[in-house]
Amino acid sequence: MLSNFEKELIVQIWDKMIPVAEDIGSEALLRMFTTFPKTKTYFSHLDISPNSDHLRCHGKKIVQALADGARNISTLATTLAPLSRFHAYLLRIHPTNFKLLNHCIIVTLACHMGDNFTPVAHAAIDKFLSAFSAVLAEKFR
Amino acid sequence: MVEWTDAERTAILGLWGKLNIDEIGPQALSRCLIVYPWTQRYFSTFGNLSSPAAIMGNAKVAAHGRTVMGGLERAIKNMDNIKATYAALSVMHSEKLHVDPENFKLLADCITVCAAMKFGPSGFNADIQEAWQKFLSVVVSALGRQYH
């Protein structure tokens, strides 16, 4: 459940991430691959070494999708429908992995925002990422 | 038996050496109570937890945060035997405190986030994060070990 204050806070935070989408996205992915090596099993077709073009490109896509979701929080299911189908029918990622990436996104934000990543901001982002992942996993079965 | 590489040991001890446990303990516990409000169920005797501001200003929360970090220090000093070091603590969390061990991961994640905020992307890079989280997951596992 997100309050209006939290929804605005989420938009503010993600708007700041758009110009640095490649940096933030690739860092979150690298953290995930390093801390949870099993997540690499989904990326055998890409070069996910630190700072690779694939990593930066993929990281950017993820941050942009999250920023898009942030601006359309009330209509997440509709906004994310294509991505939801993609994750369910093509990617078929084990659903527990969403939490691992969400955690690494949060750690990345914490690193870059420092004290601005207040407990209230943390809670709002955590709730948003959970809602976002739930929509992505919705069509799994 | 947990195997630590030299790099992991260095990363974990290095990070611990730079932490101010009197600062991070209260920060991490209050963050946990705010971000995961159901964890407040274990702190009904702590007084006012009615808002983020109340939680962050609560002296009992702060004191308990420091206690938790003291517990973590024992794990740091006994990295090769965390399971045995924590046996009594695990029994206590199960039999006396009745804490659902799922919640240990949440507090561990909050400690990680506080460290990330303090040290930034290069002080808390991916390799340091991996080692630190491996350490915390061993701690969490040891704390849940004696539940039955």
Asked if A122 and B31 come within 8 Å (Cβ–Cβ), the reply is: yes
**In Å, how far is B35's CA from the nearest CA of chain A?**
4
Tens of pLDDT along chain A (141 residues) come to 899 999 999 999 999 999 999 999 999 999 999 999 999 999 999 999 999 999 999 999 999 999 999 999 999 999 999 999 999 889 988 888 999 999 999 999 999 999 999 999 999 999 999 999 999 999 888
Q: Helix, strand, or coil here: A44?
A: coil
Residue A35 in contact with partner chain B when CB distance is under 8 A = yes
Count other C-beta atoms under 10 Å from residue B61's C-beta: 23
Q: Out of A33, A114, A126, whose CB is closest to B117?
A: A114
Q: Which amino acid is at B65?
A: G
**In Å, how far is A122's CA from the nearest CA of chain B?**
7
Q: Find the helix or strand (DSSP H, E) in which B46 lies.
A: none
**In Å, how far is A68's CA from the nearest CA of chain B?**
23
Residue B119 in contact with partner chain A when CB distance is under 8 A = yes
The pLDDT tens digits of the residues spanning B63-94 come to 999 999 999 999 999 999 999 999 999 999 99
pLDDT at A22: 97
pLDDT at B49: 97
Residue B57 confidence (pLDDT) above 90: yes
- The terminus-to-terminus CA distance of chain B in angstroms comes to 21
Which residue in the block uniquely carries the two structure tokens 């405190």?
B97
Instruction: Give B119-123 contacts, CB < 8 A, sequence gap 24+.
Output: B119/A111, B119/B15, B119/B18, B120/A111, B120/A112, B120/A114, B121/A27, B121/A108, B121/A111, B121/A112, B123/B18
Which residue in the block uniquely carries the two structure tokens 């919640």?
B103
Q: Out of A34, A114, A123, whose CB is closest to B120?
A: A114
pLDDT at A139: 87
Cα A96 off chain centre by: 14
Residue A120 in contact with partner chain B when CB distance is under 8 A = yes
Residues of A in contact with B118 (CB under 8 A): 114
At a CB cut-off of 8 Å and minimum separation 6, what does A105 contact? A28, A66, A125, A129
Rounded CA-CA distance B38/B54 in Å is: 16
Phi, psi for A72 (deg, rounded to 5): -130, 40
pLDDT at A95: 87
Residue B13 confidence (pLDDT) above 90: yes
Residue B148 confidence (pLDDT) above 90: no
pLDDT band at B111 (very low <50, low <70, confident <90, very high): very high
pLDDT at A121: 98
Q: What ipTM was reported for this prediction?
A: 0.87
Asked if A31 and B30 come within 8 Å (Cβ–Cβ), the reply is: no
Residues of B in contact with A34 (CB under 8 A): 126-127, 129-130
Closest by CA to A100, choosing from B130, B34, B121, is: B130
The pLDDT tens digits of the residues spanning B23-34 come to 999 999 999 999
pLDDT at A141: 87
Count other C-beta atoms under 10 Å from residue B109's C-beta: 23
